[in-house]
Amino acid sequence: PLRALAEQRGLLIGAAVGGALYDPLEPEYAQILAREFNLVVAENAMKWASLSNERGQYGFAGADALVRFARQHGQRVRGHTLIWHEQLPAWVRNGAFSREAMLAVMQEHIQAVAGHFRGQVAYWDVVNEAVSDRGGLRETPFLRAVGPDYLEHAFRFARAADPQAKLFYNDYGADGINTKSDEIYALLKALKAKGVPIDGVGFQAHLDSTFSPRQARMRENLQRFADLGLEVHITELDVLLRGAGTREERLEAQARVYAEVLEACRAVARCTAVTLWGFTDAYSWRAAAEPLIFDALYRPKPAYHALLRALGGT
């Protein structure tokens, strides 16, 4: 299994977990999750709107069940995510808040959630997707009410809520060296220089099978963030089946992308985890493009075998 090889290499190999974990009709889901992965992340269950609709009212049952599963199977947990502009309760999304009022809202939420999971979540995505694809910080309820320093406050609140957890900034479209990753690099460098408690950076890696991690200089990109003293994770890897050629050729291209991403991480000493955004094509936010490493019937695809080989297996 992947996790046995990963453990020999000192690497975490993770998967996002969606709805099928307790589906008695799909025992394969939980079996494969336990067998192949040593890290789990909730695909949706720890997001703000999944935990709470009303201020101060939280329901943790679904997220707690995943944390319990992880404990039973010797898996670490990534927490996703504390401050993000999507999947927010309506009162946060639409409310008119002063700076002080929004900082209080953020602090309460982070304290409630990271506090609840204190000691059980090894890594938190504290802030997700704060940089706009067009440059600058993304327009969000947090930026609007607080201003650009909402990020550093989020990290300080998270450190206070769970001093043991490693705190991450997470984003997409920044996997290689490009203008967005340049901007994130500058942002995180400035946060570090200010003494903001940030421990790591997550690269989502939502890719497709025509992408070349090598051409995009993914390894060099991970390395420059590592050189800031940050731990590096690949956090949401999936690879859409795209491009010309036969289906077999596309599956091989997909496998190569998975392997190259894993190799890029292995080449960087501070890159410690590769997490996939699901594992079976039966459950994926982009299921139609079959982006994962097991097919919808839970059979391993070429991408699964490519990851095994990239971990030094056969």
The residue number with the shortest CB distance to ligand G3I is 285
Return the number of other C-beta atoms located less than 10 Å from residue 91's C-beta: 13
Q: Which of residues 211-250 bind ligand G3I (CB under 6 A)?
A: 236
Nearer to ligand G3I, 171 or 199 (CB): 171
124 touches 160 (CB < 8 A): no
Nearer to ligand G3I, 43 or 199 (CB): 43
Q: Does 62 bind ligand G3I (CB under 6 A)?
A: no
- Provide the minimum distance between the beta carbon of 236 and ligand G3I in the complex, in angstroms, as a whole number: 5
- Provide the minimum distance between the beta carbon of 204 and ligand G3I in the complex, in angstroms, as a whole number: 5
Q: Which of residues 148-207 bind ligand G3I (CB under 6 A)?
A: 172, 204
Q: Does 210 bind ligand G3I (CB under 6 A)?
A: no
Nearer to ligand G3I, 202 or 302 (CB): 202
Q: Does 44 bind ligand G3I (CB under 6 A)?
A: yes
DSSP SS3 for 148: coil
- Provide the minimum distance between the beta carbon of 284 and ligand G3I in the complex, in angstroms, as a whole number: 8
The residue with tokens 């992408």 is 211
Nearer to ligand G3I, 21 or 308 (CB): 21
Structure tokens at 67: 């944390």
Nearer to ligand G3I, 87 or 223 (CB): 87
φ/ψ (deg, to 5) at 85? -85, -10
- Provide the minimum distance between the beta carbon of 23 and ligand G3I in the complex, in angstroms, as a whole number: 14
Q: Does 132 bind ligand G3I (CB under 6 A)?
A: no
Determine which one of 231, 236, 260, 290 is catalytic.
236
Structure tokens at 231: 């731990």
Please pick, from the candidates 43, 175, 231, 260, the single residue that binds ligand G3I as defined by CB under 6 A: 43
Query: 236 an active-site residue?
Result: yes
Q: Which residues contact 235 (CB under 8 A, 6 or more apart)?
A: 41, 78, 80, 125, 168, 170, 202, 203, 204, 205, 273, 275
The pairs formed by 225-228 with CB atoms below 8 angstroms and a separation of 24 or more are: 225/185, 225/188, 225/201, 226/268, 226/269, 226/270, 226/271, 228/185, 228/188, 228/189, 228/192
DSSP SS3 for 199: coil
What residues are paired with 276 via a beta bridge? 15, 237
Please pick, from the candidates 285, 295, 298, 309, the single residue that binds ligand G3I as defined by CB under 6 A: 285
Q: What is the DSSP string of 214-255?
A: TTTTHHHHHHHHHTTT-EEEEEEEEEE--SSS-HHHHHHHHH
Q: Does 86 bind ligand G3I (CB under 6 A)?
A: yes
- Provide the minimum distance between the beta carbon of 18 and ligand G3I in the complex, in angstroms, as a whole number: 7
C-alpha closest to that of 175 among 251, 279, 260, 256? 260
Nearer to ligand G3I, 78 or 217 (CB): 78
Q: Does 87 bind ligand G3I (CB under 6 A)?
A: yes
Q: Does 281 bind ligand G3I (CB under 6 A)?
A: no
Q: Which of residues 93-122 bind ligand G3I (CB under 6 A)?
A: none
For residue 56, how many C-alpha atoms fall within 13 Å in the half-sphere facing its CB?
1
Please tell me the count of residues contacting ligand G3I according to CB under 6 A. Answer: 9
Structure letter (DSSP) for residue 57: -
Structure tokens at 137: 């910080």
Catalytic amino acids?
A: 236
Note the residues at the interface with ligand G3I (CB under 6 A): 43-44, 86-87, 128, 172, 204, 236, 285
